[in-house]
Amino acid sequence: MLVTGKEILQKAHEEGYAVGAFNTSNLEMTRAVIEAAEEEKSPVIIQTSQSAITYAGSTEIAMIVRLLAEEASVPVALHLDHGTDWDVVMKCLRDGWTSVMFDGSKYEFDKNIEITKQVISIAHPMGVSVEAELGKIGGVEDHVKVDAKDATMTDPDEAVEFVEKTGVDYLAIAIGTAHGVYKGDPELDFDRLKDIKARLNMPIVLHGASGVPEEDIKKAVSLGVNKINIDTDLRQAFKKAMHKVVKEQPDVYDPRKMLAPTSDAIKEVVKTKIRMFGSNNRA
Ligand code: G3H
Ligand code: ZN
């Protein structure tokens, strides 16, 4: 069933587990993620970046995800990931996303508050939940690029003020993860996470979670992370499976036969993450 992000994440916050938010840009990836969630009896969030929307078409990708979500036996939310463009955020609200992220992390604190508030004033009456970001997460996620030197951790005092002034439903915080492929193991600031969670007492979002060691993910979940974004790990699984088909079955040229192993690979990654995040059997 298709639900809002808040419906999924408020329960995760109250019961102490995290739900995976997996990026998609087509039918095959969406179906793989939903099948994995159904097999694990887990709620799931399917998210689209702005460039995935440009690639697939807003109406088209919304129809694919919404239809598969409505038919699913588990709760599924359709979320806009890193919405930095006002017009794209508004289009997603019109086209049926059930959750949007307004990413105002490139703005000064007050400006981020101001625009986030405006988004919420439109989204909430439409029944759509809103995520915002405070602090700057390093690395590259499609059109969002932040140099390591410009990445900044979330300030707990600012987080409290930000949430009070905006009324945002869940907050993405910067505690040392980064988008894309890590060069070494990331160093997560767990004390900061603990402090922010204690003071906000609301769903917390972790970006850049691909490649983060399992014990760090589990610790982050135990300290209050409730939404975990995964993109790079899915892309890498896709590439590896596609490479294998091309190499081992050079005579195959049917796109369906070439894509099937990529879907299986994505499904396996999603199932592993779901169990790691503790959302299995929570649907
Ligand atoms: O917004 C999406 C993510 O934060 C994904 O990060 O590519 O490192 O998995 P990742
Ligand atoms: Zn992200």
**Cα–Cα distance measured from residue 12 to residue 22, given in angstroms and rounded to the nearest whole number:** 16
Instruction: State if residue 229 touches ligand 1 by the CB under 6 angstroms criterion.
Output: yes
> Does residue 66 have its Cβ closer than 6 Å to ligand 1?
no
Of the listed 81, 103, 169, 233, which one is catalytic? 81
Beta bridge partners of 133: 172
Ligand 1 close to Cβ of residue 217 (< 6 A): no
Q: What is the DSSP string of the chain?
A: -B--HHHHHHHHHHHT--EEEEE--SHHHHHHHHHHHHHHT--EEEEE-HHHHHHH-HHHHHHHHHHHHHH-SS-EEEEEEEE--HHHHHHHHHHT-SEEEE--TTS-HHHHHHHHHHHHHHHGGGT-EEEEEESB-EEEETTEEE-GGG-BPPPHHHHHHHHHHH--SEEEE-SS-EES--SS-----HHHHHHHHHHH-S-EEE---TT--HHHHHHHHHTTEEEEEE-HHHHHHHHHHHHHHHHH-TT---HHHHHHHHHHHHHHHHHHHHHHHT-TT--
Ligand nearest to the CA of 236: 1
**Does 251 participate in catalysis according to the annotation?**
no
- Measured from the CA of 23, which atom of ligand 1 is nearest? 2
Closest ligand 1 atom to the C-alpha of 230?
A: 9
Provide the pLDDT for residue 168. 98
> How remote is the CA of residue 161 from the centroid of ligand 1, in Å?
26
pLDDT tens figures, 164-188: 999 999 999 999 999 999 988 899 9
Q: How would you write the pLDDT of the chain (283 residues) with one tens digit per residue?
A: 999 999 999 999 999 999 999 999 999 999 999 999 999 999 999 999 999 999 999 999 999 999 999 999 999 999 999 999 999 999 999 999 999 999 999 999 999 999 999 999 999 999 999 999 999 888 888 888 888 777 889 999 999 999 999 999 999 999 999 999 998 889 999 999 999 999 999 999 999 999 999 999 999 999 999 999 999 999 999 999 999 999 999 999 999 999 999 999 999 999 999 999 999 999 9
Residue nearest to atom 8 of ligand 1 (CA): 208
- Relative to the CA of 207, which ligand 1 atom is closest? 4
User: What is residue 137's predicted lDDT score, i.e. its pLDDT?
Assistant: 85
* CB contact set of 247 (below 8 Å; sequence gap of 6+): none
pLDDT at 183: 86
Measured from the CB, is residue 105 less than 6 Å from ligand 1? no
What is the predicted pLDDT for the residue at 136? Answer: 87
pLDDT value, residue 151: 81
Choosing from 48, 105, 141 the residue with most ligand 1 atoms within 8 A of its CB, the one to mutate for a pocket test is: 141
Distance 180 CA to ligand 2 centre (A): 9
Instruction: Give residue 145's pLDDT.
Output: 84
81 lines ligand 1 (CB under 6 A): yes
- Predicted local confidence at residue 142, as pLDDT: 80
